[in-house]
Amino acid sequence: MVVKRKFFEREEKRALKEVKAVVVHWPGGSVVPEITALWKWMNSASNNSYHFLISQKNIIQTRDLKLRAIHCGHSTYTNKAKAFFGERTCSNLDSPNNYTIGVCLLHDKADGSYSTATIDSAIDVLAILCLDNNLDPMTDLLRHSDLTNEKEIPCPKYFFEDDDDPDDLWNTFKEWVRDRVAYYEIEIGCEG
């Protein structure tokens, strides 16, 4: 896995307080080319940023992992967010941005779905982030709309698309990340 680093340091360099979760996003709209995403979310006029942008061709780290990004702050939070982070963090006194790593998956199709390459890269990145931060993929990977409900179309759209059970695709994806974590743990154990 090759990670390109294109840091955008327009924000203040405020340190993450602690990594409690990784929040997965999508850029919205129809297909968003990588360069458009980089410009849209990482330019000086934007109020948003992520730690990673993942496309079918690239994994781009856009923010130092020791610094917070602006990707999941809002004026109101879901009950799920309040249960996960606590009432104080989900208030004007604090923000989930101080406790999360933001990862944006660039969708390859107008319906918001992803190529196999994008999904596989996302699984790799998320598994490594979970390992490095001692996170459980089944409980500590969150969708942006799990935290805030401000968007007309849930974020990331693809992981809310199953009409029978909107959590099916998301749970399957988290299981893939969990399996990759287990694989990496075995690989690390074999090397030592």
- 176, pLDDT greater than 70: yes
Tracing tokens 């931060």 back to the chain, one arrives at 133
% of the chain at pLDDT higher than 70:
80
pLDDT the model gives residue 32: 65
pTM equals: 0.89
Q: How confident is the model at residue 84 (pLDDT cuts 50, 70, 90)?
A: very high
Number of Cβ within 10 Å of residue 33's Cβ equals 11
| Band of pLDDT at residue 192, cut at 50, 70 and 90 | very low
Q: What is the mean pLDDT of residues 75-95?
A: 90
Asked if the bond preceding 96 is cis, omega within 30° of 0, the reply is no
Tens digit of pLDDT for each residue in 87-144? 999 988 899 999 999 999 988 777 888 889 999 999 999 999 999 999 999 999 999 9
* Predicted local confidence at residue 96, as pLDDT: 94
Return the pLDDT at 1.
63
Which CATH number is 3-191's, of 3.40.80.10, 3.40.50.2300, 3.40.309.10, 3.40.50.1100?
A: 3.40.80.10
Amino acid at 147: L
Residues forming a β-bridge with 16: none
Specify the pLDDT at position 127: 97
Q: Lowest-confidence range among 51-60, 66-75, 151-160, 162-171?
A: 162-171
- Report the distance separating Cα 119 and Cα 109, nearest Å: 13
